[in-house]
Chain A
Amino acid sequence: MTVHAPSLRQEWQIGPFRKGDIIAGLLGFLVLIGLAAGVGRLFAGMGATTSLTDAYPWGIWIGFDFALIAFSGVGFTIAAVVHILHLHQFQPLLRPSILAGLFGYVAVLMLLLLDLGRPDRFYNFLLFYNMHSPLFEICWCVLLYTTVLVLEVSPDLLANLPWKWPLRLVYRLMTPVTIIGITLSTLHQSTLGTLYLNMPHRLHPLWYTPILPVLFYISSILAGLSLGIIAYKIAMAVRGQKENPAIAIGLGKGIVAVALLYLLIRVGEVIYAGELPLLLTWTPLNRLWLGEILFCSLIPIVLWATPSLRRQPWVHWVAPLSALLGVGMNRFNATLAAQSAPTSAFYSPSLLEWFSTLGIVAAGMLLWYLAVRFVMGSAVKLGYEQH
């Protein structure tokens, strides 16, 4: 890639020194700290390095993991908008989004490896089957879908090869691969909700419902569309291009529909299950529940649905970030806050858990930044994707 970097730099008018590089440097620093923390965990074990216990066997690693999977839904949602719904006005979102999806899943896999008690046997799910296990299905789908994402971003790499047949092959496969990717995403995004169905004794009734898979799926679309806007905006800034506000507004209207649907099902379920009285007291858990609703549904709906607001540039940041915060909160609450441990145990993540998590998230962002800056769009630039 480096061979082509100089020409790309000129082409996209990337200056010698930019704000992005400072941020990239900071991210690199976090990655180094995270690396040290990760190595520490692998050699010293989780007892010495984390706050995890038998009462709270999963901590922020899993919380971030599940939030990141939802955010990485950006890959399949934007692919669906552009390739399946053929809304080609959203094409400019596609590449930054697929890259964000890919590096999101890369971060997910790294976190998972730290969290596994036997990282040396991570491949065991390929050898031993349990069709009843949500986690088994998630492992398979994440593996297969990461492969799909690699294929989806591959044209920009393959275009630089001396041989053209791999590129042609990938182009031929692109439609089926996209459809497979959406299917795999639907499966594991919803199965993340199924995972919690095995915990009726632990999960608070405001979160526990048999329709968790549906809620997890819809919220991953919400997070995906929202991250798509952010990825697009940052990518345009990195590449020094002007963004088209109509794109964010168009997608924002779609987000209103998805957020409304989520709101209806989420609140409807609470009413249907007769759990409304649970909300009438002012407890920390209720505040978290209301916070989720506020951030992932109400704020995005109001901001995107109000014509005078959605034209404001700040809304194009605040509305998607609010949705991401809300969906992220949901995954963290389901994993931690809304779980009642069998004993009156307490979990507060250790520093090493924080450092390793931040390091891995930073690694994902850094890789995305580098890919957007130096690799993205090679296939177009080199003339292989044409009208």
Chain B
Amino acid sequence: MTTTQSELSRRDLIKGMGCGVAALMLSSAMVAHPELAHASDGEESDSAWGILIDLTRCTGCQSCALACKETNDRPNPNQTPIGLDTDAYSFVEEKQIENSVGQTESVYVKHQCMNCLHPACVSACTVGALRKTPEGPVVYDADKCIGCRYCQYACPFGVPAYEWENPLGLIHKCQMCADRLAEGESPACVAACPNGALRFGNRKQLLAQAHAQITSNPGRYVDKVYGEYEVGGTSVLYLSPVPFSFLGFPELGDEPNPRYAEAVMKQTPAIALTVASVVTALHLFMQRRQQVNGEATVHITSQKPGDEL
């Protein structure tokens, strides 16, 4: 290879790479603008259901967790669950906190799927096995699932559980008792609570009630309804006597987590078109340039006989 040729080749290489990368950067610049981002399922419908959990009323009796096991046909229905897994879609966690006079006190926190308004699990699922229904529940179609477990990574609350012991494992999670809702019943956990700590109803009305409760009971609650705005809002809402961070609730922004990924995914056809046309143009341009330069026109698949491979 002569010097001129290698000089030329380097410039061409850099130029070509530059073109391709520039096109992609253009697309991603558009992506970085949040106003282009929309979460998967549009705006919340006014009639969607919600569950309001009042932590000041919960005594940790576990009735909800056991009722949840029963309604979902989970094994060992009488065993109190200690975490979210394939056997328990809900559990009640005891949190020790220090109150204002320096004594330790227990706060019981019921955990389950938050049934997000813009669920990251739904956005991520490879085959659309997870779906947000207009009524509120985020439901799972076990027949579609391929067990890729991307939903587990996407969920900011660590909810979806996988059947590790099953060679053909599937995902398990609370689906807000969508079947019971369809039959006009309330979720099993809500129906089972003897202390009025769980309330089922229209999410917007529950929110209004929650804020009214905060105002009319000064000192009882912190002035925040967890789930009102977190990751774009969740169907399950919490009222707490202490700051949510004391109880280990994740501190999440108000934007739905899938916003960037969805914005990029929306650009897929544009990126494909850009790349295909840039590459085609580059191909024609370089081919022509070689002809003009008097170099041999080499067909795309051809080689000089006797060339090295």
Chain A residues close to B by CB (< 8 Å): 42-48, 52-55, 57-58, 80-81, 83-92, 94-96, 115-118, 120-122, 124-125, 127-137, 139, 155, 171, 174-175, 178-180, 182-183, 186-187, 190-191, 194-195, 197-202, 210-211, 213-214, 217-218, 221, 235-236, 239, 241, 244, 246, 249-250, 253-254, 257-258, 261, 339, 342-343, 376-377, 380, 383, 385-387
Contact = CB atoms under 8 A, between A and B. Distances in A.
A183 B124 CA distance: 23
B234 interface: no
A380 B302 CA distance: 9
Interface in B277-297: 279-280, 282-283, 286-287, 289-290, 296
Contacts of B28: 210-211, 213-214
Chain A interface secondary structure, helix, strand, loop or mixed?
helix
Interface string B15-54: 0111011001100100110000000100000000000000
A128 B149 contact: no
A47 B86 CA distance: 13
B276 A179 contact: yes
Interface stretch (B183-191, B198-206, B212-220, B263-271): B263-271
Interface stretch (B58-66, B98-106, B151-159): B151-159
B283 to A, nearest CB: 5
A343 B84 CA distance: 12
Contact of A183 (B122, B129, B150, B279): B279
B222 interface: no
Nearest to A186: B275
Contacts of A217: 21, 24
B158 A343 contact: yes
B125 interface: yes
A29 to B, nearest CB: 26
Given A47-B164, A85-B282, A130-B125, A124 B16 contact: no
Contacts of A376: 309
Interface stretch (B70-78, B165-173, B239-247): B165-173
Contact of A174 (B168, B260, B268, B301): B301
Contact of A47 (B10, B154, B165, B250): B165
Contacts of A127: 127
B168 A120 contact: yes
A132 B144 contact: no
Interface string B78-109: 00000011000000000000000000000000
A175 B298 CA distance: 12
Given A47-B164, A85-B16, A132 B261 contact: yes
Given A117-B169, A118-B145, A214-B28, 10 more contacts: A46-B164, A54-B85, A83-B300, A116-B147, A174-B300, A198-B123, A210-B28, A213-B28, A236-B308, A383-B305
B309 A253 contact: no
Contact of A135 (B124, B250, B286, B289): B124
Shortest beta-carbon contacts, A-B, top 4: A117-B147, A47-B164, A342-B158, A45-B167
A158 to B, nearest CB: 12
A199 B168 CA distance: 26
Contacts of B147: 116-118, 121
Given A54-B161, A83-B283, A186 B152 contact: no
Nearest to A171: B301
A380 B307 contact: yes
Interface residues of B, number: 87
A368 to B, nearest CB: 14
B9 A250 contact: yes
Nearest to A43: B167
A87 B125 contact: no
Contacts of B1: 89, 244, 246, 250
A89 B169 contact: no
A179 B299 CA distance: 15
B156 to A, nearest CB: 4
Interface of B: 1, 5-6, 9-10, 12-14, 16-18, 20-21, 24-25, 28, 31-32, 40, 84-85, 120, 122-129, 144-150, 152-154, 156-158, 160-170, 250, 252, 257-258, 260-262, 264-265, 268, 271-272, 275-276, 279-280, 282-283, 286-287, 289-290, 296, 298, 300-305, 307-309
A175 B129 CA distance: 38
A117 B170 contact: yes
A26 B289 CA distance: 48
A313 B162 CA distance: 50
Given A84-B286, A211-B32, A137 B268 contact: yes
B287 A257 contact: no
B153 A198 contact: yes
Given A117-B170, A254-B14, A387-B302, A89 B145 contact: no
B22 to A, nearest CB: 10
Nearest to B6: A250
Contacts of B14: 254, 257
Contact of A136 (B17, B40, B126): B126
Contacts of A125: 126-127, 146
Contacts of B282: 84-85
B261 A197 contact: yes
A46 B123 contact: no
Given A214-B25, A254-B17, A239 B309 contact: yes
A135 B17 contact: no
Contacts of B120: 198
Given A87-B12, A254-B17, A377-B309, A139 B268 contact: no
Contacts of B24: 186, 190, 213-214, 217
Nearest to A217: B24
Nearest to B15: A85
A42 B169 CA distance: 11
A58 B168 contact: no
B303 A380 contact: yes
B117 to A, nearest CB: 15
Contacts of B13: 81, 85, 87, 250, 253-254, 257
A118 B276 contact: no
B156 A92 contact: no
Nearest to A182: B279
Contact of B298 (A88, A182, A253): A88
Nearest to B251: A201
B250 A201 contact: yes
